[in-house]
Amino acid sequence: MPSLRFEGDHWRLGAIRVVGVDEVGVAPTCGAVVAAAVIMKPHARRIAGVRDSKTLSALQRERLAPIIRRRAVAIGVGAASVREIDQLNIYHATHLAMRRAIARLGGHDHVIVDGNRIVGFENHVGPYSNVVDGDAKVYSSACASVVAKVVRDRMMIRLAARYPAHLRSRTPKGASG
């Protein structure tokens, strides 16, 4: 279960607006990559059931997302389009989506990114750290994982309705991915 230990390390150092970031849509072969950035109150009470979105059902994510939105200090969502993925590659497009999500927060003190170190990322977002499997370990990143997954699933459902012949064979049941 994700904990507040990573955020707590930064809160103790005076960073109040600690951001957890996660992205979804990196592995699927269609659609945008979506990132969410979430700031929770220091020492906030955890929301029961929040964990890495890949371990939750669509119904669980849909139930948790509005609770996360109500409890969060700030949430930012960013995406990189299929065209941007094609132009930049998925690695750089993912980081672009993350930067867009972080930019929509209205300021922050520190960012915790799910995954490996990103060269030059601090030039765009300021102080940050990375945690491999952060969506499973870092509470605010797990919250971001849920929010990003719900947003992307809804995007994919709308695209499937608009282009049923193109997405029927590519969109897994429940819009997972």
174 pLDDT band (50/70/90 cuts)? low
Q: What is the CATH number of the domain that holds 27?
A: 3.30.420.10
Other C-beta atoms lying within 10 Å of the C-beta of residue 117: 11
Residue 28 lies in a domain: yes
User: Tell me, what's the pLDDT at 177?
Assistant: 47
Among residues 37, 23, 27, 144, which one has the least CA distance to residue 94? 23
Among residues 62, 79, 45, which one has the least CA distance to residue 154? 62
Kindly state the average pLDDT of the residues 149-160. Answer: 93
Residue 177 lies in a domain: no
pTM: 0.91
List Cα–Cα distances, 91 to 26, 71, 116, in angstroms: 8, 31, 11
User: Tell me, what's the pLDDT at 57?
Assistant: 96
Residue 157 lies in a domain: yes
**β-bridge pairing 110-114 and 128-131:** parallel
Instruction: Quote the mean pLDDT of the chain.
Output: 92
**Number of folded domains that form the chain:** 1
User: Tell me, what's the pLDDT at 28?
Assistant: 76
Residue 125 lies in a domain: yes
Q: Which domain holds residue 122?
A: 5-172
Kindly state the average pLDDT of the residues 116-142. Answer: 96
Rounded distance between C-alpha atoms, residue 31 and residue 151, angstroms: 12
